[in-house]
Amino acid sequence: MALRDIVVDPNPTLRKKCRPVEVFDEKLGKLLDDMRETMNHADGVGLAGPQVGILRRLAVVEVEDFYIELINPVIVKKTGTQDGPEGCLSVPNKQADIKRPYKVTVDYQDRNGTPMTVTAEGFIARAFCHEIDHLDGILYYDYIEKQEKR
Ligand code: NI
C-alpha cells in the first residue's frame, strides 16, 4: 500500500464528472487499498476517486468499525433530512453545516464487480452523499452557496 497525494481545492480535477469503473482487476484493488490508507492517514472518513486524481466512480468510507468500498454507487432511495457539520480532505481546515437526507440506500459494486446494496443512516448516510457528490464534481460548500443565493 502507498499514500497518494490528495487533490486540494481549487483544482479542476475536483469539478469533473467521473466515468464508471469498468475493469475490476488487481490495479483497482491496489487503488482502493491506497485510498483507504490515504484517508486514514489524513484522519478522514471518506475519500473519492477525484481526490486522488482518478476520474472514476469509486469511493471509500470508513467510520469507526464500518468500512466500505463503493464502486459505481447510485443513491436509489433517500428519506428524512439531517443538518450537521461537514468537512472535506480536499477543502482543508473548513467546515459547514449542510442539510442531507437522514437515510440513504445505495446500489454499488464491490471490488470484484459484484452488485451490492447498502442502507445507512445518520453520519454514514451523510458520508455516502458527500463522496458520491465528488463523483459528479460537487463539493459540499456548493450547497451553502446555493442557500445564500436564494
Ligand atoms: Ni470530500
Report, as residue numbers or ranges, the catalytic residues.
131
Q: Provide the residue ranges of all domains of the chain, joining segments of one domain with +.
A: 12-149
Distance 17 CA to ligand 1 centre (A): 14
- Joined grid coordinates for residue 113: 464487480
Distance 60 CA to ligand 1 centre (A): 11
The per-residue pLDDT for 150 is 52
Distance 42 CA to ligand 1 centre (A): 12
The per-residue pLDDT for 147 is 66
Each residue's pLDDT tens digit, 69-127: 999 999 999 999 999 999 999 999 999 999 999 999 999 999 999 999 999 999 999 99
What is the C-alpha to C-alpha distance for residues 131 and 140, in angstroms, rounded to an integer? 9
The per-residue pLDDT for 25 is 98
CATH of 12-149 among 2.40.50.140, 3.40.309.10, 3.90.1150.10, 3.90.45.10:
3.90.45.10
Each residue's pLDDT tens digit, 18-62: 999 999 999 999 999 999 999 999 999 999 999 999 999 999 999
Binned at pLDDT 50, 70 and 90, residue 146 comes out as: confident
